[in-house]
Amino acid sequence: MTNTKVLLPCEVDIDKCIALNSSFNGARLDLDKLSRLQESCVAINGDVLATVNFAQDANGLRIVKGTCEADLVLICQRCGEQYVEHVISKFNFTPDYEKAKACNIEQKYDFIDLENGMVNLYDLIEDGLILEIPTVPKHDEDDEACTRHGDQWEYGELDKEATTNPFAALASLKESLANKQ
């Protein structure tokens, strides 16, 4: 099966893209270039698709704006089984921090650094997607696929499990070191 979707380029020249009024609609990302996202989940299901627009706003700021969506396989922290989380990241970037600050609109945008006028689209999209991964991944509350669906379950239950263990290990290590002296 061949993938006919347009491949999103990794780096683009922001001025050229704005001048040409470029946009990408549902372009797929090369999964091999998303190693940090790969490491943040069990697997990526299907394509990671992005819509990216380039524009200049009313104040003359250069804007890279869009959304990206991915289906990520995560481990449910309730039942320990894999499930698919659909993550959507919206972004609105500008490299023109000084201008934004001068116009008092810096809270409207996130800021990116350009390298020789180039924007690394993959970096900013990947960061956005990773931020959308829930800190405590779990099936939806009413998802019957969750084997612990309907169980009484508290946030604290997991927190305790996840946070006390490393400290307990450290405490016992300290204890054994102290005993050696």
Residues forming the site for Zn ion (CB under 5 A)? 76, 78-79, 139, 146
Mapped onto helix, strand or coil, the DSSP state of residue 54 is strand
**CB-nearer residue toward Zn ion: 110 or 143:** 143
**CB-nearer residue toward Zn ion: 152 or 179:** 152
Those residues with Cβ within 8 angstroms of residue 29's Cβ, 6 or more apart along the chain or in another chain: 7, 8, 47, 48, 49, 50, 68, 122, 125
Closest Cα partner for 4 from 34, 65, 38, 49?
49
**CB-nearer residue toward Zn ion: 62 or 78:** 78
At its nearest, how many Å lie between Zn ion and the CB of residue 55?
A: 41
Q: E-strand spans in 58-159?
A: 62-75, 82-94, 110-111, 118-120
At its nearest, how many Å lie between Zn ion and the CB of residue 136?
A: 11
H or E, element range at 99: helix 97-102
d(CA 90, CA 57): 18
At its nearest, how many Å lie between Zn ion and the CB of residue 57?
A: 43
At its nearest, how many Å lie between Zn ion and the CB of residue 103?
A: 47
At its nearest, how many Å lie between Zn ion and the CB of residue 151?
A: 10
**CB-nearer residue toward Zn ion: 80 or 166:** 80
Tell me the β-bridge partners of 12.
119
